[in-house]
Amino acid sequence: MTISRIAILGPGLLGGSVGLAALAAGYEVVLWGRNKERVEATCAIGLEATTDLEATLKGADLVILAVPVGAMSQLSEQLRSHLKDGALVTDVGSVKALPHAMANELKIPFIGSHPMAGSEQTGIAAARGDLFQAAACVLTNDQGRAEEEVESLGQFWVDLGCQVTLMTAADHDRAVARISHLPHAMAVVTAAAALRRPSDERLAAGGFRDTTRVASGDPAMWAEIMVENREALITALDDAQNEIREMLDHLAKSDKKELQDYLAEVKLRKENPTQSHE
């Protein structure tokens, strides 16, 4: 499979960043947006864009869904009649089980993609061509597409600067619940608890900003992600509650030694994540 023309559906932060990176890597790129204003904003950063879905898909070797999962089903029904023979569809979403189920139901040739890169900023104006440099990108091939398609899609992401890994959708969703969705949820909780008196923020320094930065992300997008991956996220949040209870227990007992041992254990786990600390 040869990928040369890319159609990106959804001119937001990720769609725009994929477009800029792919254009710089020598691919032919066109983006599709639902409204004229977003298309004009996309053209303003140097990308070709249109509101004509059929024209966007014409001749595309790879179609990238850069829209929320909730919008994928209807859009995929529209696009499947315009796919050229041999074209492949992927996405850039944070959850993979639902897109695979949708693709199977609609009989769309689909391999999931999740480039682990982003920002608390939103919209096409925040797009960056270097967003994917050294970023992990997970591919999910639950549909069992041909190895050459997996290799071609993987090479596309490598060309954009990513380091590619292949996983099942279930393993992906479990993993990102812990290393992506849980940190976001905890940033929100930390910001909410810390800012019970908003005037205290004037004292905030790097620690507060670093641990709560992603809490400024798009609430609509993150609510959708969390609900879509709720089972895995609930398990991760339950584990987080247990960790908080342990810290509370040490504090309630004024047990400085046990608290220090706990902090040291977690520090070691954080600094050496591949080692067993049981």
What does the DSSP assignment read for 11-58? Answer: -SHHHHHHHHHHHHTT-EEEEE-SSHHHHHHHHHTT--EES-HHHHHT
Nearby residues of 65 by Cβ (< 8 Å), 6 or more positions away:
9, 10, 72, 75, 76, 89, 90, 91, 92, 93, 99
Q: Is 121 within 8 Å of 213 (Cβ atoms)?
A: no
Is there a domain that residue 277 lies in?
A: no
Calculate what percentage of the chain has a pLDDT beyond 70. Answer: 97
What confidence score (pLDDT) does residue 246 get? 94
> Does 214 lie in the same domain as 163?
no
- Answer yes or no: is pLDDT of 184 > 80: yes
Give yes or no for a contact between 84 and 55, defined as CB atoms under 8 angstroms apart. no
Please report, for the domain that includes residue 109, its CATH number.
Answer: 3.40.50.720
Q: Are residues 29 and 143 in the same domain?
A: yes
Question: What are 209-240's pLDDT values in tens digits?
Answer: 889 998 988 898 889 899 999 999 999 999 99
Q: Kindly report the backbone phi and psi dihedral angles of residue 190, in degrees, each rounded to the nearest multiple of 5, phi listed first.
A: -65, -45
Enumerate residues 6+ apart whose C-beta is below 8 A from 161: 21, 130, 132, 133, 134, 135
Are 38 and 13 in contact by the 8 Å Cβ rule? The answer is no
- Verify that 132 and 176 share a domain, yes or no: no
Which pLDDT belongs to residue 272? 86
Last residue of a domain, one of 126, 149, 167: 167
pLDDT at 276: 53
Within this chain, do residues 181 and 146 fall inside the same structural domain, yes or no?
no
pLDDT for residue 277 is more than 60? no
Q: Of 74-83, 101-110, 129-138, 256-265, which range is least confident?
A: 74-83
One domain for residues 225 and 162: no
Give the confidence band of 274 by pLDDT, cuts at 50, 70, 90. Answer: low
Q: What is the pLDDT of residues 37-60, one digit of tens each?
A: 999 999 999 999 999 999 999 999
Beta bridge partners of 163: 136
Tell me how many domains the chain contains.
2
* pLDDT reading at 17 higher than 90: yes
pLDDT at 100 over 90: yes
Last residue of a domain, one of 167, 185, 220: 167
Identify whether residues 13 and 141 lie together within a single domain. Answer: yes
| Residue 182 sits in the same domain as residue 213 | yes
- Using the 3D structure, point to which of 132, 167, 202 is the last residue of a domain: 167
Flag whether 176 is in a domain: yes
62 or 194, higher pLDDT:
62
* CB 200, CB 174: distance < 8 Å: no
Q: What percent of the chain has pLDDT over 90?
A: 74
Categorize the per-residue pLDDT at 120 as very low, low, confident or very high, splitting at 50, 70 and 90: low
Domain assignment present for residue 276? The answer is no
**In the predicted model, is pLDDT for residue 275 greater than 80?**
no
Write the CATH number for 195. Answer: 1.10.3660.10
CB-based contact 185:226 (threshold 8 Å): yes
Token digits of residue 24: 């710089």
Residue 74 scores a pLDDT above 90: no
Full domain range(s) for residue 258:
172-271
